[in-house]
Amino acid sequence: MDVTLYTRQNCPLCEKAKAVLVAAGITPKEVDVDLDLDLLRRFSEDVPVIYIGGAEAFRHRIEWQVVSGHHLEREFKFKDFADALAFTNRIGAIAEEQNHHPDVELGWGRVKVKTWSHDAGRITARDFRLAGAIDRAL
């Protein structure tokens, strides 16, 4: 899995992002943006930034939890059922577009999402790409 973590020294969010990746069994290639003027201009204070397979997946933080080294999980909160349902439908559209389908639990004012690659029986790059796309749909 080709994962690049753009980071800076003394960055607690960067360390947290790295810990999530490592917990999922992923060792990212770390790039310190302070050592490259072009990267520093590009990312500035936006680190950590995580690229998977050459495409940006996350910026600033990973809010997803690695559960038992098996799957990614995140619960989203909403003001009511209608907003939670609308978000669930956006997740469905993203899942269809990526042909990667998470488990989604809908409740009043909340949506819980779990994703792992069933064929691999573990977390893969597809799960991080899906999680990043779901975060951007929020």
What residues does each domain of the chain span? Answer: 3-62, 66-137
The neighbouring-strand residues paired with 51 are: 4, 56
Q: What is the third-level CATH fold of 66-137? A: Gyrase A; domain 2 (3.30.1360)
Q: What is the third-level CATH fold of 3-62? A: Glutaredoxin (3.40.30)
pLDDT in tens, the chain (138 residues): 789 999 998 889 899 899 988 888 888 999 999 999 999 888 877 889 999 888 888 888 788 999 988 899 999 999 999 999 999 999 999 999 999 999 999 999 999 999 999 898 889 889 999 999 999 998
